């Protein structure tokens, strides 16, 4: 617990000082929401049924930018190796990175939700939508944190994103879109998508904790 | 040799490497390396570029796992007790392993905290004075010169007073003052077992009491 807090504090401080990660993620997300809003407005279509898809697409790309950033510097400077060579457990390193990414992405998601509410004139700030997003974000951040560590360890990192990372996230993203649709009362599906989302997130979270030390092994 | 002789000999050994090999991508990087180093010894690891020096140091630092073989560091097996032996070792690699957005003080404080050191403030101040970084302790590390990065990296590696120090070409970028720091912090510390890769024969002759030569992944001359 102590070492997790040390790693988390260090990562949050670095994220705050090196503004490149969260700032590019935030601006990218805002631009994406603006483009979607204007495109659907021009087409004259009812954008409400598409809103969960728009939200989760935006979360996907902003999340990947944010989580990758947390390992990019560690990889270049070799500081991840310095942490691994110290007596702290690799689970502490994972938790520190996970919570830092979760906090950063949650702040960005909050901005996206507020902007989406304004641009699409649909109230996204309700407890059910936020619960679905939060639950999905836990699984999403776990997997992307694990895979970001993997990407920076491997020489074939360029192909990891399309070949492993995105396909692995598909079940979680589908459940996230469906659970958000149900929360917004867009779809009247009887399937318990929120429970599926919870199961996918739990699976992603536990799997990532177990696999993180193996990913760092050379 | 009696059993008590063997026990005394074991206690004297800081590093005991047994038939360590490393294959990577079908290529043999290290081949059955075997050697023993006594506590407090200073060993120069020499060899041409690509001979396997860095891989051997990375294995001893627990950053790379061997394909076969094992090593015993201060009584802890590399394979079975890697978490315990990490507290005993300090590592200086090719790259400084420090955060460029942190100041030297913040870097030392962060890494010292990972070792749960008591009197960390005092130890950080001591390292900052010894490394000659005291006057620049609050500046961002990314504005410091290459030599100062190396001094900070050396300070980070010894912040917890490790019993074993693994150095990969420690003289890189160091000026006369930096070399003096290396001497004070590392070479003159009789409790510290040091193994350092180097290309500088002349310097190695001055500080090393052991020489390991590595050629195409094989240890050739332990003396």
3-state SS string over B96-115? CCCCCCCCHHHHHHHHHHHC
CA A125 to chain centre: 19
Distance CA B191, CA B65 (A): 27
Burial of residue B161 (number of CB atoms within 10 Å: 0-12, 13-18, 19+): middle
Instruction: Give the torsion sign (CA, A22, A26, A27, A32).
Output: positive
Residues of chain B with pLDDT under 70: 1-12, 221-223
Do B55 and B30 touch, CB atoms closer than 8 A? yes
What is the phi/psi pair of residue A121, to 5°? Answer: 55, 40
pLDDT of residue A96: 94
pTM for the full predicted model: 0.87
Q: Which domain holds residue A81?
A: 2-215
pLDDT of residue A154: 63
Cβ–Cβ gap B65/A84 under 8 Å: no
Local structure of residue A132 (DSSP, 8 states): H
The strand order across the sheet containing B68-73 reads: B27-38, B13-24, B68-73, B76-77
| Contact map slice: A 17-76 vs B, CB within 8 A | 17-18, 73
**Crossing angle for the helix pair A51-77 and A127-153, nearest 10 degrees?**
30
Nearest to B117 by CA among B138, B92, B90, B87: B87
**Interface-testing mutation among A15, A17, A85, with chain B (most B C-beta atoms within 10 A):** A85
Mean pLDDT for all residues in chain B: 85
Do A214 and A150 touch, CB atoms closer than 8 A? no
Local structure of residue B212 (DSSP, 8 states): E
Other C-beta atoms closer than 10 Å to the C-beta of B175 total 14
Local structure of residue B153 (DSSP, 8 states): H
Q: Tell whether B102 is within 8 A of chain A (Cβ).
A: yes
Other C-beta atoms closer than 10 Å to the C-beta of A187 total 15
What is the phi/psi pair of residue B42, to 5°? Answer: -120, 115
**Interface-testing mutation among B76, B102, B113, B144, with chain A (most A C-beta atoms within 10 A):** B113
Q: What distances in angstroms separate CA A163 from CA A173, A217, B81, B137, one per listed residue?
A: 16, 21, 36, 45
Q: Across the A/B interface, how many CB contacts are shorter than 8 Å?
A: 66
| Contact map slice: B 154-193 vs A, CB within 8 A | 156
pLDDT of residue B78: 84
| Residue B172 in tokens | 């890189």
Distance CA A211, CA A216 (A): 9
Distance CA A157, CA B152 (A): 31
Domain count, chain A: 1
Distance CA B18, CA A216 (A): 24
pLDDT of residue A47: 76
**Token pair 């490790």: residue:** B162
Distance CA A54, CA A26 (A): 15
Instruction: Give the torsion sign (CA, A199, A201, A203, A206).
Output: negative
| Residue B52 in tokens | 């396997």
Do B222 and B212 touch, CB atoms closer than 8 A? yes
Other C-beta atoms closer than 10 Å to the C-beta of A44 total 7
Q: Where are the alpha helices (DSSP H) in B41-89?
A: 53-60, 82-86
Do A21 and A108 touch, CB atoms closer than 8 A? no
Distance CA A39, CA B142 (A): 43
Task: For residue B211, list its beta bridge partners.
Answer: B44
> Looking at this predicted complex, what is its ipTM?
0.85
Cβ–Cβ gap A87/B83 under 8 Å: yes
pLDDT of residue B185: 77
Distance CA B167, CA B187 (A): 12
| Contact map slice: B 32-61 vs A, CB within 8 A | 58, 61
pLDDT of residue A157: 65
Burial of residue B95 (number of CB atoms within 10 Å: 0-12, 13-18, 19+): middle
Domains annotated for chain B, with CATH where assigned, are 3-219 (3.40.50.300)
Distance CA A86, CA B62 (A): 10
pLDDT of residue A156: 60
pLDDT of residue A54: 92
Cβ–Cβ gap B110/A6 under 8 Å: yes
Buried b (16+ CB within 10 A) or exposed e, A48-73: eebbbebbbebbbebbbbbbbbbbbb
Q: Chunked in runs of 10, what are the mean pLDDT values of chain A (218 residues)?
A: 92 87 88 89 77 92 86 86 91 94 93 91 87 93 89 68 81 91 76 87 93 81
């Amino acid at each position: 617990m102590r070492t997790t807090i040390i790693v988390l504090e260090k990562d949050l401080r670095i994220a705050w000082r090196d503004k490149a990660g969260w700032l590019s993620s935030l601006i990218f997300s805002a631009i994406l929401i603006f483009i979607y809003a204007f495109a659907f407005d021009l087409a004259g279509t009812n954008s409400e049924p598409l809103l969960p898809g728009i939200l989760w697409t935006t979360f996907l790309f902003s999340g990947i930018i944010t989580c990758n950033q947390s390992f990019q510097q560690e990889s270049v400077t070799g500081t991840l190796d310095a942490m691994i060579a110290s007596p702290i457990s690799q689970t502490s390193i994972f938790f520190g990175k996970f919570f830092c990414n979760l906090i950063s992405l949650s702040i960005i998601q909050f901005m996206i939700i507020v902007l989406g509410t304004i641009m699409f004139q649909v109230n996204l700030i309700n407890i059910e939508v936020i619960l679905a997003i939060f639950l999905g974000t836990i699984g999403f951040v776990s997997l992307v944190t694990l895979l970001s560590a993997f990407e920076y360890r491997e020489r074939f990192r360029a192909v990891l994103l399309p070949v492993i990372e995105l396909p692995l996230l598909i079940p979680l993203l589908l459940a996230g879109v469906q659970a958000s649709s149900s929360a917004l009362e867009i779809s009247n599906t009887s399937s318990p998508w929120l429970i599926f989302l919870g199961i996918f997130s739990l699976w992603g979270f536990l799997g990532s904790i177990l696999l993180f030390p193996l990913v760092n092994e050379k | 040799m009696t059993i008590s002789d063997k026990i005394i000999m074991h206690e004297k050994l800081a590093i005991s490497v047994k038939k360590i090999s490393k294959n990577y991508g079908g290529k043999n990087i290290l081949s059955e390396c075997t050697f023993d180093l006594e506590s407090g010894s200073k060993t120069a690891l020499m060899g041409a570029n690509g001979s396997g020096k860095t891989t051997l140091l990375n294995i001893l630092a627990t950053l790379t796992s061997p394909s076969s073989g094992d090593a015993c560091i201060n009584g802890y097996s590399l394979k079975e007790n890697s978490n315990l032996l990490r507290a005993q070792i300090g590592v200086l690699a090719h790259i400084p392993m420090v955060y460029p957005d942190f100041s030297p003080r913040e870097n030392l404080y962060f890494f010292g905290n990972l070792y749960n050191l008591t009197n960390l403030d005092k130890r950080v101040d001591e390292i900052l004075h010894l490394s000659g970084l005291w006057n620049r302790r609050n500046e961002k590390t990314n504005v410091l010169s290459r030599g100062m990065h190396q001094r900070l990296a050396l300070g980070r590696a010894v912040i917890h007073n490790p019993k074993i120090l693994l150095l990969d070409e420690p003289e890189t970028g160091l000026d006369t003052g930096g070399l003096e720091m290396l001497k004070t912090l590392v070479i003159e510390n009789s409790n510290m077992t040091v193994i350092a890769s180097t290309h500088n024969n002349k310097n190695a002759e001055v500080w090393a009491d052991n020489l390991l030569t590595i050629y195409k992944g094989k240890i050739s001359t332990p003396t």
